[in-house]
Every structure is written in structure tokens, then in C-alpha cells.
Amino acid sequence: MKALLLILLAQLCSASLVPEREKDPEYWRGQAQETLRAALRLQRLNQNVAKNLILFLGDGMGVSTVTAARILKGQLQNRKGEESLLEMDKFPYVALAKTYNTNAQVPDSAGTATAYLCGVKANEGTVGVSAGVTRDRCNTTKGQEVTSILRWAKDGGKAVGIVTTTRVTHATPSAAYAHSANRDWYSDGEMPPDALEGGCKDIARQLVENIPDIEVILGGGRKYMFPKNASDVEYPHEDKHRGTRLDRRDLVQAWHDAKPPGKVAKYVWHRRDLLALNLSRVDFLLGESRHPRVPRPQPGALGDPWPVSWGSWSGQLSPRDAGTSRGTPPGCWYLPQGMLAKQALHEAVELDRAIGLATRLTSPQDTLSVVTADHSHVFTFGGYTPRGNPIFGLAPMQSDVDRKPFTSILYGNGPGYKIVAGERENVSAVDFAHANYQAQSAVPLRQETHGGEDVAVFARGPMAHLLHGVHEQNYIPHAMAYAACIGSNRAHCNAAGRPAAAASVLLPFLALLVLLC
């Protein structure tokens, strides 16, 4: 009798999980017909020249992360969540990208950044160089440098920008401008003697010297720009934030000095100063904080995050002598990663807000927007959870092996592996809803690894249909460059019948914006 009551109760609860409209077959038929009509409209291909390019990059944003973020977004809106749409879900074209490095089945962020920015696959740990370069070996670098889509855009007369919530010398943004046999050579203080003697340059120096006319650079990691032991402007009494440069150079001053006469270059290190700038009087901007992420005890509850604020601000920056119209806003790359699943997914929702902002401020007639990831993580969620189950909640069952509950979100490996009294930790005895909770993992590691599966590529705008099916990751910048008539593949640009983008008073943006958790 007791078992029968439990079954009946479960059936009643299951029935209540289904919204009334979803019980009607006509709801699903109507939804499918609407989707079909939208798909048929895509037969009229947008073959305009892309005046603007926006690349949103989510570091570690695998498909499972995208799905979980979609559910969280809906639940933050007091909905069940599964039926929600992320902004990237609304992009009409979707592809898969193969992320392996030339020497690694499961990739790192340096080799993948070289692929989706420079258009060639590379070895893990190397940035902006071909697979002919061996990690840590400076003497293999010469002649193996490869240029990025940022360089192609700059050569094509476009204004360019990099915005990141990690250090600007991190592997992901640095592939846009640097060439290094080691992604960790942030300043000369991190380089071995043989690399210095061999003439290799650190990444921070390359940021200032390789492409000195990048209009917008916003990120973190300012200690790599200043002489060793120089006090930090914001944290003067903390040794870990002191400068690291052995050559005693002040690269911020060098960045200023490299600007053409008559141009105004502004350096800021605080959000307050960034937002106070008079945009009509700025030609170049360098903004560096210790780390540009804003601490969020309750993610999503404190108004505009850095990503959205930076996205809308940088979209307004334009050469002051080019007129008074506003340029097309660059979008944002966003990098949710790590084993703090709650923080990562809330940040993914904030990425969604930034994508939505860029979508509202641009037109698909002249702006190609692409959202993708460099790689995935060993993040998953399952456990036969019912409809509307809190994404950070428990599965509705216990393990049939150790008789303990488990959260829906789990990792394949990482520091979440915990043994208590010889057994798996009982998650009901800890605050698994806390922002800093590390989800349980199957294999103990001090740091969770990347995942090796394909990542999604979402595209909207001119020539977005070129991103389809399954591609090598290095194909992405070639398709974007073709759409914008930059780089080496431009024979089609004057072809009869291909509409050109309307001339703009302002230099258009190629926006390389990185937002890292």
C-alpha cells in the first residue's frame, strides 16, 4: 500500500510539472510550424559584405554549459527554464568546431586561440605561431609567426578592440597580437634566460609593440606592464601585485609614446574612470585592472556587470576626428570555466546579456556576429531530474551503490572529489547551493581538465551561412574574413551582384572581446 501511494504521489507531482499549454498537441505543432517558416526564410541568403565583425568567445563553454546556462536564465525569470532561449540560441546558423591541437587530443586555450584567431592549428601552449614551434623553445619561433584576424582587420582599415575579464596577456586574447613559444611568458620576469638571450619577446611587450594602433584594450594583469617590485596603484601594500618586469620598462608609458602626434590615448585602471571618460576626446584606450571581474556573492543581483558595461562603453569609442556618429559596438567574448559551477553559469547568463546588447545595437545586414568556445570542460548534468528542477539542485534519486544523494551537476575530474570517513561525501551535509561550492568529481585532481569534444559555433549576419556542419576550428576566422573582405581571400569582393556594406563615417570595429571567470 505504501509503495502504491508513493507511485501515485510521484505521478501527481510529474503531472504538475507540465505547463497546461504543453499538454495540447497544437502548441507543439504551432511551435514547429513557426520554426519551419523561419527556416524557409533563410533560403534568402545574406551575402552582404560584413562591415563589422563581432566574436564572442566563451572559454570552456561546451554544449553542456550552454544548456545549463539556458535553464538557469529561465529559472532566474521564475520559469521552469528548459524552454528558455539564450541570445545565441536565436542565431540562425549553428555549426560544430573540432578543437584538438596539432599535438593534443584534448586542447589548451593557447593552441585553440591560435586556431580561431589566426586560422591555423598549433601545438598546445603556443600562441600565434605554427605547429613548427615547440613549446618553451624560443629558437623554433623565428619564421613561424602567424597573423590573426585582428591584424587582417587593421590592415583592412578597420578599428579593432580587445576586451577581456582576464589579463590581456592571457593565452586567449594574446593570440590576437602575440607570437610566443610559451603562453606563460607574460612579462620578461616569467621567461627563462635562454629565451631572453634568444631574442624572444614577452607577451606584454608584444601587446604594446606588435600592433600599436589597437583602438581599445580592456582587461587585467597590469603588473606585467611595470618594473619589478613597482607598487601597484590600487594595492600598494600587497607584494603579489607588484610589477614583474626585469627590463625596468613602464609599458603603459611606452604605449602612450607610440601613439601618433595629435591623438589622445587614455589609460584607466578603475571602472569609475572608464565610465567618466569623454568619448569624443579619446582616440585610443588602455584599461587594466588587477583583475576586472567584479566579486559577486549573489551573481546576477548587482546590476550591470563589467562585461555589459564594457561592451556598451567600448561600442561607443571611435576616432574622435571621424565625425560624431557612434560606431558599431563590439560584442564580448565570455569565458565561463572552472569547477565553481554556480559562478560559471551565472557568468554565462551575463554573457547572454552582453550578446543581447550587441544584437540590439547592430544590424544583421552589415554585422557578422559569431559565438563560440575554445574548448569545453568535463562538466555535465544529469540524474533524471524532473522538469524545472533547480539547475544547482539535487537529482531526485540516491546512488544505488552508496545510498547517498548527488547534485545534478557533476565533473569528470577535479578538486571536487572528496572522501569523508572512507566514503563519498554526503552532499546533503554541505551547502551545495553556495556560490563557491565545488561540484563533486569522479577523479581527484588539483585542477579540473578541459574536455575534448566539439564546441558549438553560432552565427548571425552577412555570410553567416558559411558556418555550418562540422568544421576544423581554424576555419572560423577564414569564414569571418571572407564575409568582411579582409585578409588574403578577397577576389570575390568586387563580384557582380554582391552588395557592399554602406559606407560609414566611422571606422568599423572588429571586436575581440574576452570575458573570463
Whole-angstrom CA distances from 458 to 147, 174, 281, 366 are 24, 23, 36, 17
63 and 376 Cβ atoms separated by less than 8 Å: yes
- Ranges of beta strands (E only) in 331-402 are 367-373, 376-377, 379-381, 394-398
Give the whole-angstrom CA distance, residue 170 versus residue 113: 10
Give the whole-angstrom CA distance, residue 210 versus residue 448: 34
Query: For residue 77, how many C-alpha atoms fall within 13 Å in the half-sphere facing its CB?
Result: 14
Active-site hit among 64, 84, 109, 180: 109
Q: Is 471 annotated as a binding residue?
A: no
What contacts 428, CB < 8 A, 6 or more positions away? 394, 404, 405
Q: Which three cell numbers stand for residue 223?
A: 603588473
Give the whole-angstrom CA distance, residue 91 versus residue 110: 27
User: Exposed (0-12), middle (13-18) or buried (19+): which is 312, by Cβ within 10 Å?
Assistant: middle
Q: Does 109 qualify as catalytic in the annotation?
A: yes
Residue 116: name the closest of 472, 490, 454 by CA.
472
Q: Is 172 annotated as a binding residue?
A: yes
Give the whole-angstrom CA distance, residue 136 versus residue 139: 9
498 and 492 Cβ atoms separated by less than 8 Å: yes
Query: For residue 224, how many C-alpha atoms fall within 13 Å in the half-sphere facing its CB?
Result: 26
Q: Is 114 annotated as a binding residue?
A: no
Residue 50: name the closest of 466, 469, 474 by CA.
466
Residue 427: name the closest of 455, 379, 475, 393 by CA.
393
Q: Is 244 annotated as a binding residue?
A: no
Residue 289: name the closest of 355, 217, 348, 347 by CA.
217
Q: Is 492 annotated as a binding residue?
A: no
Give the whole-angstrom CA distance, residue 56 versus residue 512: 7
Q: At what angle do helices 475-484 and 109-118 cross, to 10 degrees?
A: 30
User: What b/e string do you get for 238-266 counting C-beta neighbours within 10 Å, with b at 16 or more?
Assistant: eeebbbbbeeebebbeebeeeeeeeeebb
Kindly state the DSSP code that residue 105 receives in the 8-state scheme. Answer: S
Q: Is 450 annotated as a binding residue?
A: yes
No. of H helices and E strands in the chain? 13, 19
State the Cα torsion 279-282-285-291 to the nearest 10°.
-40
CA angle (306 as vertex; 276, 232 as ends), nearest 5: 70
What residue numbers does the annotated binding site for Zn(2+) cover? 59, 374-375, 450
What residue numbers does the annotated binding site cover? 59, 170, 172, 374-375, 450
What residue numbers does the annotated binding site for Mg(2+) cover? 59, 170, 172
Catalytically annotated residues: 109
